[in-house]
Each structure stands twice: as C-alpha cells, then as structure tokens.
Amino acid sequence: MSLLEQLAQNANDAEQFEIAEVYLDWGHTSKAMNMLKNLLKKYPGDGELLVSIAECCLDEGMDEEAISYLEQVDKNDDEYLRALILQADLYEGMGLTEVAERKLMDAHQKDTEHPILSYALGDFYLRQGKFDSSLPLFQKAIDNNAEIEDLPLRYAEALSRAGKFEEALPFYRKGLDHHKDLYSLFGHGVTAFKAGEFKEAISALEELKDMDPDYTTLYSVLSESYEEEGALDEAYQVIQDGLKRDEHNENIYLQAARLAYKMHNPDQGEEWVKKALALNPALIEPLLRLGDQYLREERFEDIISLYKPLTETKEEIPLMYWHLATANKETEDFNEALIWYEKAAQLFQDDPVFLEEYAYFLLEEGKQEEAKKIMKFLLTMNPERADIEDVLNRLEEF
C-alpha cells in the first residue's frame, strides 16, 4: 500500500488507472473511486472509466449511482455492451426484470453473434424460468466458441429444466469435468435419474454426498436411484442417512415408509408414517396416493398398516375408508371390511364404481336386500348395465 501511494504521486494517467484497478482488486474501493473520478474529470465520457466507477459503486452498495454512471456510456463506446450487461444485472437485482430484459436484448441486437451477449441473455432467461427461450441463445454461444467456464453447466440446466434430460447429460459431464459445484452435481444426479440413467445418478449423488453430506435434498433422489437398480438395502440405508441429517422432512419419512413396506417391514413403515404425520398432519393426500399405488399392486396388508395411524384421527377421509374396506375384504377380515364399507357408503352415495363393489360385497355376506337396493339405484344411474340387471333378475327368482 505504501509503495502504491508513492507510485500514484508521480504516475501518468494510464498508470493512475492501473493503480486504481489494483486498489479495486484489493478491496480498497474508496481509494480506487477517488482516482477514477479524478481521471473522469480529465476524460469526460470515457466508457472504461464510467464502467469502472460503476463497479466501485456496486461494491459500495450504491446501485442507483452505479446506474447513473452506466447510463452515461455512449452507444458507440467499446464499453457500451458491458455497461448494458451491468445495468441488466442491477435492474434484475432490483426486481425490474422487464427493464433488465430490455437492456440485454438491446445489447444482443447490437451484436447478435457476440457469444458473451448470447450467453448473458440466455442465462437471464434461465433464471426467469423461460427455458425454451434460453436454449437457442446458449446454443448460439456454443456455436460461436464462447470461452465461458460455466456455459456447459448452464446449458445443461436449461435443457434439463425444459425436459430434455438425455440431451442435458453430455453437457453436465463436460461441465463437471472442468468445474464441480454442489448445485451442478445435484442437477446432474436429478437429470440422470429422470433420463433413466440410474447408475450415473448414483455416481453423481454419492460424490455430492461425500462433498457435503448436509445437502439433504440429495437423499430422496439417491435412494430412489438405488431402488430403481433393485438395491433396496442401499436405498433404505440412504434414506435413513437422510433422516439423520434432516429430521424435519416429512417427504423423506414417507419415502422411508414406502421402502419399509416394500421390504415387508410394515411395523417400521407404520412408525415412519406416524413421524411424518407428527411433522405435518396435512399429509393425507400423499398417503392416499401411496394407498392407490398399493391397491394397484394388490398389497392389501400394507394398505392396512399404512392407514393405521390415520384411523386414530377424527377427520373424515373417504378414500381411506374405501381403501381399507377393499383391503380388509381381500385379506378376508369381512367384519372389519363391513365397518369401512358402511363408513365409505355415507360419502360415496353417487359413485357407481364404489357402489358396485359394495353391492357385490354385500351379496357375498348374504345381505341380499341391501345389495338389491344398491343395484336398483345403479340401474337408475345407468339403465344400459345389462349385467347388473341380470344379477337382479336372478335374485328376484329366489
């Protein structure tokens, strides 16, 4: 610092600018700004000075002053495009995304083949969630040989967000060969999972776990990847590791429950469900979806275990009643099934699918009069049901 101050006393204008840049690099923003402002008095309107002063203002949190200097850069100045990009960043940070977009579009239209401008506009659209708009701009930056380190990773993310998972993977691989960060490794893992490349997903997410085991969103995807590979023990271990890191994530508990049921451990599955419900009593919808899945897979005992914690609540859950009725019927606990059918019947009075199932269950239980009443109602709903009419005719004969 002492040497710089001595040099500055006798430095020419070009050297003054270089010394100011050193001050700025070292974090001595006020010293740099004073020198640059003095130079600006001698060279008013100089784009490089205006942009450098604006950068000093940004370091000091003086956003409005930074914009004021950037707007003074002439359209014909070599620094004009850089000034537009900085303005766009500022306006975006202030929530003025339409102004930011206009600045970037002005810059891009001035030089549509400039790779950095294509990248900047593409990256803006990516941050705004406009993935389809970002893709051609990133592609143009690549075609024009942009030397931007994170371009492959940003393009990979845009492709993945647009649902082009297979196309995204080569860019993730290329980008991560040169630079690895937690966010990109997670994106790689998720993209590989969605592309059906489960081994690749496992590799990326295990690496991420080694780098930062507290990156808790990785555990669900990693566990599902192992599950898809048929490695249920590894999947279950991963999800339990995730719960040690994040004890307040109800989704991880639900996944742990699902795996426990799949591994024929209903007691443990029930415990995970209880813990999930303790964290968030409003988890009924995902549990019902899981119940639907078990019903399709004919895992009737798992349905009964899944809903056991919910049966202790006083809240009416119509679909649960139906699921439990069906599951108990299939496991031949007919008395329990009848209880749940009767509960469900109060809430599915106009559902022909439920009513038909209920009617046939009543027939099997010897409750013909109740069954006939329901079947007659079904015929009023749909007179073309010849099969139900045949059953009713046979019943009338006895």
Of the candidates 385, 394, 384, which has an alpha carbon nearest to the alpha carbon of residue 363?
A: 394
Question: How far apart are the C-alpha atoms of 341 and 143, rounded to whole Å?
Answer: 64
Question: Which CA distances in Å does 288 have to 149, 295, 300, 341?
Answer: 46, 10, 14, 17
Of the candidates 19, 2, 92, 14, which has an alpha carbon nearest to the alpha carbon of residue 46?
A: 14
The DSSP secondary-structure symbol of 111 reads: -
Residue 76 φ then ψ, to 5°: -95, 0
- Provide the 10 A C-beta neighbour count for residue 352: 14
169 in Cβ contact with 192 (< 8 Å): yes
Q: How many CA atoms lie within 13 A of 157 on its CB side?
A: 21
Question: How far apart are the C-alpha atoms of 325 and 333, rounded to whole Å?
Answer: 9
The H or E element spanning position 379 is helix 368-381
125 in Cβ contact with 141 (< 8 Å): no
Of the candidates 299, 333, 339, which has an alpha carbon nearest to the alpha carbon of residue 321?
A: 339
Q: Looking at the chain, how many residues does it have?
A: 398
What would the two tokens of residue 299 be? 């895992």
131 in Cβ contact with 142 (< 8 Å): no
Give the mean pLDDT per block of 10 residues along the chain (398 residues): 84 88 86 87 86 84 84 81 82 82 82 84 90 91 84 94 95 92 96 96 96 94 95 94 90 89 86 84 80 89 87 82 95 94 92 93 91 91 89 79
Find the helix packing angle between 318-330 and 300-311, rounded to 10°.
140
CA angle (165, 168, 170) in 5-degree steps: 125
Class of residue 293 by CB neighbours under 10 A (exposed 0-12, middle 13-18, buried 19+): middle
Query: What is the distance of C-alpha 365 from the center of its chain?
Result: 49
- Provide the 10 A C-beta neighbour count for residue 255: 25
What would the two tokens of residue 158 be? 């845009």
Per-residue pLDDT, 256:
92
The H or E element spanning position 145 is none
Question: How far apart are the C-alpha atoms of 366 and 368, rounded to whole Å?
Answer: 6
**Structural domains of the chain, ranges and CATH numbers in brackets:** 1-110 (1.25.40.10)
Query: What is the distance of C-alpha 197 from the center of its chain?
Result: 18
In sequence order, the 6+-apart residues with CB closer than 8 A to the CB of 7 are 15, 19
Of the candidates 288, 293, 353, 287, which has an alpha carbon nearest to the alpha carbon of residue 319?
A: 288
Q: Is the Cα torsion angle 157, 162, 168, 169 positive or negative in sign?
A: positive
- Which DSSP string do the residues of 173-192 spell out, in sequence order? HHHHHH---HHHHHHHHHHH
Class of residue 76 by CB neighbours under 10 A (exposed 0-12, middle 13-18, buried 19+): exposed
